[in-house]
Structure 1
Amino acid sequence: MLDPVARRVLDAPLARVAGALDRPWLSPDRLTALGLALGLGSAAAAAVQQWAPALVLWLVSRLADGLDGPLARRRRTAGAAGDAGSGGFFDITADFLVYGSTVLGVAIGTTRGFDAPWEPFAVVLLAYYVNGTAFLAFSSIAERAGRQLDDGRSLSFLGGLAEGTETIAVHAIWLLLPAVAWQVAWVWAVVVALSAGHRMLIGYRSLR
């Protein structure tokens, strides 16, 4: 829901940072790999209840993830060789791995440190699974049907209540306030489930 607003606010600053980082040795895929490594580090830190390092690693990971796209677009504009398809594939799979790992890391850390229930985090993972399936299936079928949505990203994204901006914020809240993370997880699971249902409905109607 907040992604369009976030892109309008952050696109120009991220493009400037990408320009400053534009060096031959730093490719968009390497930035994606850096974001993946930092995200997995955040999940591991959360699992052992190192909440402050986990929060820092999470935020820096998402910054790296936000810079790979602007750097790739800058390279394509300059005529540099590169494959937007493989980069987009790596980016989305890395995002899913980081999101799922972070949920698992927070679940492990809070159940051990605060005797919190694990069930809300399991429901979040289920909601992520359905939500991701809905928009990835739509993107694939829409492209084959010539109905893709072009907003500058590699995939056709159907909007919803739960998008990247909200996910970054909720995961940061978990790491900032781990004692109440499981309560937040219940609310987040409902939001993601509603978003998944909305994407299923809109995607079905759009492809009819």
Structure 2
Amino acid sequence: MFDARLRPLIDPPLDALGRLLARAGVGANAVTLAGLLPAVGAGLAIAHHHYVLALALVLLNRLIDGLDGAVARIRGPSDWGGYLDMVADYVFYLAVPLGFGFASAANTPAAMVLVASFTLTAVSFLVFAALAAKHGRMASEHGTKSFFYSTGLAEGAETIAVFVAMCLWPAMFVPLAYGFAALCLLTVVQRTALARRTFRK
């Protein structure tokens, strides 16, 4: 919901860092793969109740995720890079709720619901992108991407905010997880309505 509005604020510093990495010969895909370490590390830290460490790893992962796009904008995006970036994003999105699910049996049902809502959101997002490509549709609100990014209520910025809140207040995981799962499901409904209007004919 807020991703497109935040891009003018976050892109300039990320692009500056991306230029430094590109000049040093670092490729966007290498940056993407590097981001897997803090993503998985955050889940493991949460599972072992190291929430401050998890918070630092969550923020590091999101910084790296922004940097791979910055490097790609300088060195040139690729379809393989777009695929790799999306898979890495969902490793991160799933690692955090899985970590909370392993941290406490009381968290497990809410973690399962949140993972399921992420799965439905991903399916609606990726199928919409595939159909948009088939119809030659493009979107620029989220910057230069390898495929169509449809806007929704639950996007990257909202996910990061909720994950940060979970790490700061782990005792609130269950209501935060159910609340964000509901927002994800509303996003699926919203995107489905948009798909019906866009692709029905």
Partners in 2 of 1:118 and 1:54 — Cα distance? Answer: 18
2:138 matched to which residue of 1? 148
1:13-68: CA deviations, max 9, x gaps?
11111122224441101110111111111111111111111110110011000110
Select which of 121, 128, 142 maps to 1:138.
Answer: 128
Q: 2:94 aligns with which of 90, 100, 115?
A: 100
Conserved 8 A contact 2:101-2:108:
yes
2:49 maps to a residue whose letter is Q
Q: Identity across aligned pairs (percent)?
A: 32
CA-CA distance at 1:120 after TM superposition = 1.6
Map 1:106-117 onto structure 2 (within 5 A).
106-109=100-103, 111=104, 116-117=106-107
Q: 103, 119, 123: which is aligned to 2:109?
A: 119
Q: What is the number of residues matched between the two proteins?
A: 198
Partner of 1:45: 45
Q: Which residue of 1 aligns with 2:9?
A: 9
Helix, strand or coil at the partner of 2:146: coil
Once the two structures are TM-superposed, the CA of residue 158 in structure 1 deviates from its matched residue by: 1.2
Alignment of 1:56-205 (within 5 A): 56-76=56-76, 84-109=78-103, 111=104, 116-151=106-141, 152-205=144-197
Q: Given that residues 100 and 107 in structure 2 are in contact (C-alpha distance below 8 angstroms), is that contact kept between their aligned partners in structure 1?
A: no
Q: In 2, distance between residues paired with 1:51 and 1:200?
A: 36
Contact map agreement 2:42 2:96 (CA 8 A) in 1: yes
CA contact (8 A) 1:106 1:175 kept: no
Name the SS for the 2:149 alignment partner: coil
Query: Cα deviations across residues 83-133 of structure 1 (Å, max 9, x unaligned)?
Result: 610000000011011111111012222x16xxx342122111111111110
**TM-score normalised to structure 2 length:** 0.93
Deviation >4 Å, runs of 4+: none
Per mean C-alpha deviation after superposition, the further-off stretch among 86-95 and 196-205 is 196-205
Q: Equivalents in 2 of 1:164, 1:18: separation in Å?
A: 20
- TM-score, normalised to structure 1, is 0.90
Gaps of 5+ in 2: none
Whichever residue aligns with residue 202 of structure 1, its letter is L
Letter in 2 for 1:69: G
- Return the letter of the residue paired with 1:184: L
